[in-house]
Amino acid sequence: MLQRWWQNLLNRTRSATSAQAALETPSGTVIPVSRAGQWLLLTLGLALAWVVGWGLVVLNQEAIRLSKPTLADGGAATLLFRDAWAVASSASHYPLDQVGQSVGLPDEWSRSHPSYEGSIWYRVHFDTPIQPSTDKLLAAYIERACSNVEVHLNGQLLYRGGRMTEPVARNCDQSHVVPLPSFLLRTGSNQLDLKVTGYPIERVTARQRAGGLDEVRVGPLQDMQRMHQDHEFWSNTVSQVIAGILVVLGLFALGLAWVRQLSYLTYFGLLTIGWSLMTGRWWINELPVSNASTEVLIAMMFAPMTAFAIKFLLGYSGHGMRNRKARDLTRQVNAILWAQCLLLPLSLWLVGVNGLFLVARLWYVLFALELFVAIGYFLWHSGRTRKPEFWLMSVALGVVSAVMGIELSFQNGLLRVWGVHVTYFVMPVLYAVVAVRLIQVYAGALKTAEGARNQLEKRVQEISAEIERNFNQIAELRVEQIAEKERKRIAADLHDDLGAKLLTIVHTSDNDRISTLAREALEEMRLSVRGLTGRPMILSDALADWRAEVVSRLGQSGIEIEWRNSIDEVEEPLSARTYVQTTRIIREAVSNIIKHSQASHVVIHTDVHLEHHDFLLVIQDNGKGIPMELDGRLDRGHGMTSMKHRAKQLNGQCLVESGPGFGTVIRLTLPLEIAVVQQKVAIEHTQAASTASIPDGAQGSPLGTTP
């Protein structure tokens, strides 16, 4: 039955938090654990906690045993008083007229004088067994007198720890060493009177501050001082040092929380600072407020401390960050926690001064239970996802249980020990461990962030490099586009103005020669425009164009033509300029054949030398040849000069061989401008890709793709 209820509760918790648990892990390592595994893990964690807790309890007992000064500590010359004659009186001197009783030391008022508030006189007698040697002075050592003590020797006031009237100085945690002046010492019996002023346990919120007197020692001053210093060191100095460290730790956590905007870090910081304030409560011995107010103030601090601790645990476990249900739950928890902070002082005020201890005790138990629940929740939560946190918190659970168990049993009077408690030191150590873990997590996150940042930086660099590259390309393209646009404009202007006028001459002139010239001019102009605006083409296409033109022109003139391509497909690119110039050369040659050669048969042979990066075009006719000039050179009128000139412009060569009766052979060798043209082709490609929506086709071979 109980088991089922527990399971249900777990299921609800799990359903509320399982989804985001994996996501909200500061450590980043998400290892989902199966249900059975989780139970096993939880058991293991609890076992670890138990071992740690048990170890701590043992350690505590050992520490108390060791710290308790024994007779031997004081040396052989020390007197240890285990009994005293006690008289309850607030008189300024030992009341001889009142009846006292013998009490054992240490004396707890809660047992010997229940509900008594005021002062109690203790009297011990000692003979001066140890005649103070010449180099040694006697002193009394009181390890604990709560709240304050006055020391009289043989009726003379020797020492006062602080205010003896309300509000009494709070010296519960301090030991006192009182030198006994030798002139006051009498040979034989001496009376040492101690007036202890304190409060009954009902009016304080912690047993440590209830009225009482510990054992009293009388011995050599040096020994007494050594014991006093030891006690002072262990119970005060160490605590203060730790409190100081905790403040620094807490401030660090707060700073970290401020930087990272993480609430659980804030709570951790507040928790450690609060703890250091509480453990540092000895720092001020004389407060100008009444004892009850001070006690309420101290007790009040436990409520926010518990709240901080629980909020830290919940926040660190990642509870309530995504899920709405979990958020609602968190809100309820918050309300309860902060309500406690108000309810605690309220309840203390309601029950009045005499109920302080009882009510405070109840509250402590409640806080302890709350903390256990919170730690259990954290264990359950982190056991699923975060291994390091789980083990850490298991240890923490053990420590906290042990500390609380010791504290609570002490407060409830189950444990009767005075002296140094391990609990004072363990909690700060625990805080430190948790803080180290938090810092580790933070460092891990920082490292991850740095890695991510580095990666991002690298990526940004890559991208900016790419952008730069693209920008350069675009700029180049843009220049190319502008040039292209300009060329097109010029071409359009040429066509529209010059073309139209030439055309008019072609078709309106009566003179044949003029109209022919105008036609030729028009063709020239068109070629020029083409050289300006045309795109590179592949050699095969150019050869096809030339062939078609030459064949149809010669065919119209009734001349037989034989065109031989030694290579069928030539993919080499040809710039528009080369195409145009070559077209001019071929046209000139064909015109010569038609006009002058009287040839009946023409053979045109093309060849491509890829290894030489050039192509060869041979035009051979069987005409009468070109007549020689007087200087032995061929007739310039036949346009040979311009043909040669054009070939030279293209870094090529145009050789003409001719003789009467042998016909004419024109050998045209032109380089293939692969590199130059390919670059241009590439630009055209990108242009086409970025601007053309209609498939325009590439500059590659359209022939290769057809059957």
Partner 1 sequence: MKQILLLEDLPEIRAWLKTLALQVFPGAHISESARVHDALELVNAVRFDVALCDLGLPDGSGVEVVQALREKQPDVQSVVVTIHDDDEHLFPALQAGAFGYLLKEQSREQLAEQLHRISQGEPPLSPSIARRVIKYFTAQASQQPISQADSVTPHVQLTDRENEVLLRVAKGFTLPEIGVQLNLSRHTIADYVKQIYRKLNVSSRAEAALEAQRLGLFRR
Residues within the interface to partner 1 (CB under 8 A): 492, 495-496, 499-500, 502-504, 506-508, 515, 519, 522-523, 526, 530, 534, 540-541, 543-548, 551-552, 555, 563, 695-697, 702-703, 705-707
Continuous segment of H or E residues that includes residue 85: strand 83-88
Nearer to partner 1, 142 or 543 (CB): 543
Nearer to partner 1, 168 or 608 (CB): 608
Residue 302 DSSP symbol:
H
Nearer to partner 1, 530 or 609 (CB): 530
Q: Note whether 580 and 491 are within 8 A (CB).
A: no
For 112-261, strand residue ranges (E) read: 118-127, 138-142, 145-146, 148-153, 156-160, 176-180, 189-198, 212-213, 216-220
Nearer to partner 1, 632 or 695 (CB): 695
Tracing tokens 């192509």 back to the chain, one arrives at 615
Q: Note whether 155 and 192 are within 8 A (CB).
A: no
Q: Note whether 90 and 148 are within 8 A (CB).
A: no
Q: How far apart are CA 251 and CA 127, in angstroms?
A: 55
Q: Note whether 177 and 143 are within 8 A (CB).
A: no
The least distance separating partner 1 from the CB of residue 587, rounded to whole angstroms, comes to 13
Q: Which 3 state secondary structure label does DSSP give 564?
A: strand
The least distance separating partner 1 from the CB of residue 647, rounded to whole angstroms, comes to 22
Nearer to partner 1, 435 or 561 (CB): 561
Nearer to partner 1, 39 or 563 (CB): 563
The DSSP bridge pattern shows strands 176-180 and 145-146 to be unpaired
Nearer to partner 1, 226 or 526 (CB): 526
Nearer to partner 1, 489 or 612 (CB): 489
The least distance separating partner 1 from the CB of residue 490, rounded to whole angstroms, comes to 15
Q: Which 3 state secondary structure label does DSSP give 178?
A: strand
The least distance separating partner 1 from the CB of residue 655, rounded to whole angstroms, comes to 24
The least distance separating partner 1 from the CB of residue 507, rounded to whole angstroms, comes to 4
Q: How far apart are CA 116 and CA 201, in angstroms?
A: 9
Nearer to partner 1, 50 or 563 (CB): 563
Tracing tokens 């203390």 back to the chain, one arrives at 348
Amino acid found at 533: T
Q: How far apart are CA 644 and CA 189, in angstroms?
A: 146
The least distance separating partner 1 from the CB of residue 650, rounded to whole angstroms, comes to 21
Q: Note whether 231 and 143 are within 8 A (CB).
A: yes
The least distance separating partner 1 from the CB of residue 696, rounded to whole angstroms, comes to 8
Query: Residues 127-163, buried b or exposed e (16+ Cβ, 10 A)?
Result: ebebeeeeebebbbbbbbbbbbbbbbbeeeebbbbbb
The least distance separating partner 1 from the CB of residue 540, rounded to whole angstroms, comes to 8
The least distance separating partner 1 from the CB of residue 495, rounded to whole angstroms, comes to 6
